Amino acid sequence: MALESINPTNGETLKEYSSWTAEELETVMAEVAGAVVAWQEQAIDARARVLRQAAVILRGDVSTYASLITHEMGKPIREARAEVEKCALGCDFYAEHAAAWLRDEIVESDAARSLIAYQPLGTLLAVMPWNYPLWQAFRAAAPALMAGNTVVLKHASNVPQCALAIEAILEKAGLRRGVFRTLMITADQAQRLIADDRIHAVTLTGSETAGRKVAAAAGAALKKTVLELGGSDPFVVLADADLDQAASGGVAARFQNTGQSCIAAKRFILIDDIADDYIERFAATAKALKVGDPMREDTQIGPMAREDLRTQLHEQVRDAVAKGARVVTGGEPTSGTGFFYPPTILDGVQPGMRAYSEELFGPAAIVLRARDENHALELANDTRYGLGATVCTRDAKRGEALVRRIQSGLGFVNGMVKSDPRLPFGGVKCSGYGRELAAHGLREFVSAKTVWVR
């Protein structure tokens, strides 16, 4: 099976790679197994030097890595540069803080000396998506490497050049070969690899379907997992909100990365009293977004990453319209070359429509109207997902009280949901479990070992 790099702006194939044979995979897994002990015994300052150097490499060639992202999955170039910079920030962050978070924790007990030692698990299999092809991988790898784990990356099949670039960056930064390897394998090969005794834990960012498969395989093999899956984040606008600010913030939250983000706002829950006024502002701002070649500096909406994803999104939109939803703006694929879909807003979405219950992974938003704040909360929680949530209100205390009641792993008041290395990231319900980032992410893939000495 070929791993294809296709430019979504024009549909042209950039490069093809053959997936590895079983023998090729075995060679690399033996190499990784041989690197485990030496990396675990490496002083943490030495690990930190590698990550700091990786940050230097990323910042020193931002344009090259950003262009690679844009050509492989269509991210507007300004957002791609920001992604590269964020990878460098993440490397520096863990290089600075990991030692303190991994330090032995002394505990008073009946022993002369007792403590908790945080020790690496071994080799982490990271199964990563295409929508943030550098950031998602570094978000998983940086804390795992600092904790003393080795990492093998199974990246999405449509971003093979980004996958290989990550390995090259880390090796250039001084990482011994075998400590981090990109595996050029299929999803089926990765599924089977989970049972390999040389894999000690698995982290996946991806769809709910993929998460269920990985969790089942890892459970059967008794391997630790962290899953960051889909989201259908509510964006709640209360009657007292600053509507101009909430509209501009809502457009940024929905249409970042051409709407292809698990933490993008997808369901806009509006109090009836301000719904029409908000939709007018929201639609006007969305219509003004510049759609086009993602390599242009002024482009805000690029193509969707794959043609099949655009087809799926349009089927969800058509289903809603056929069942009574109203298209406020957009709603039809852009003609011509490339996998473009315009910013789309659907009003009057109701239960029974696919758009109500499914994740919309592209530039389409749905509007749900709420009678009051309690009804807004009911609508916000009426989903199997639970990743992020936003509440817009002039009363910050009121917003915090409401966002605490929304079933989600992330809650933001008057701001769009985002990831930040300083704060834990992850979801509840069918959005997954476990946490990435902050100290919580670092400690997901270590053993908290009790040491008791008389």
- Residues 131 and 215 both lie in one domain: yes
- Residues 395 and 438 both lie in one domain: no
Amino acid letter at 262? C
Q: What CATH number is attached to the domain comprising 274?
A: 3.40.309.10
How many percent of the chain have pLDDT more than 90?
Answer: 100
424 assigned to some structural domain:
no
- Residues 237 and 223 both lie in one domain: no
95 assigned to some structural domain:
yes
Q: Helix axis angle, 44-60 relative to 62-73, nearest 10°?
A: 80
* Active-site annotation holds for 392: no
Q: What CATH number is attached to the domain comprising 29?
A: 3.40.605.10
Q: What confidence score (pLDDT) does residue 328 get?
A: 98
18 assigned to some structural domain:
yes
- Cα separation, 45 vs 96, in Å, equals 9
- Residues 262 and 390 both lie in one domain: yes
Buried b or exposed e, range 370-394, using 16+ CB within 10 angstroms: beebeebbebbebbebbbbbbbbbe
Choose the catalytic residue: 262, 358, 359, 430: 262
- Residues 74 and 174 both lie in one domain: yes
Q: How confident is the model at residue 17 (pLDDT cuts 50, 70, 90)?
A: very high
- Residues 49 and 195 both lie in one domain: yes
162 assigned to some structural domain:
yes
445 assigned to some structural domain:
yes
- Residues 307 and 257 both lie in one domain: yes
Number of domains forming the structure of the chain: 2
Range of the domain at 198: 2-229+429-453
- Residues 141 and 237 both lie in one domain: no
* Active-site annotation holds for 96: no
pLDDT tens sequence across 286-305: 999 999 999 999 999 999 99
Q: Is the pLDDT of residue 213 over 80?
A: yes
pLDDT tens sequence across 222-280: 999 999 999 999 999 999 999 999 999 999 999 999 999 999 999 999 999 999 999 99
- Residues 222 and 274 both lie in one domain: no
pLDDT tens sequence across 121-164: 999 999 999 999 999 999 999 999 999 999 999 999 999 999 99
- Residues 130 and 243 both lie in one domain: no
Q: How far is CA 196 from CA 149, 179, 218, in A?
A: 16, 17, 10
420 assigned to some structural domain:
no
How many percent of the chain have pLDDT more than 70?
Answer: 100
- Residues 242 and 224 both lie in one domain: no
Mean predicted lDDT score pLDDT of the chain: 98
Q: Is the pLDDT of residue 348 over 90?
A: yes
- Residues 446 and 332 both lie in one domain: no
Choose the catalytic residue: 79, 228, 358, 436: 228
131 assigned to some structural domain:
yes
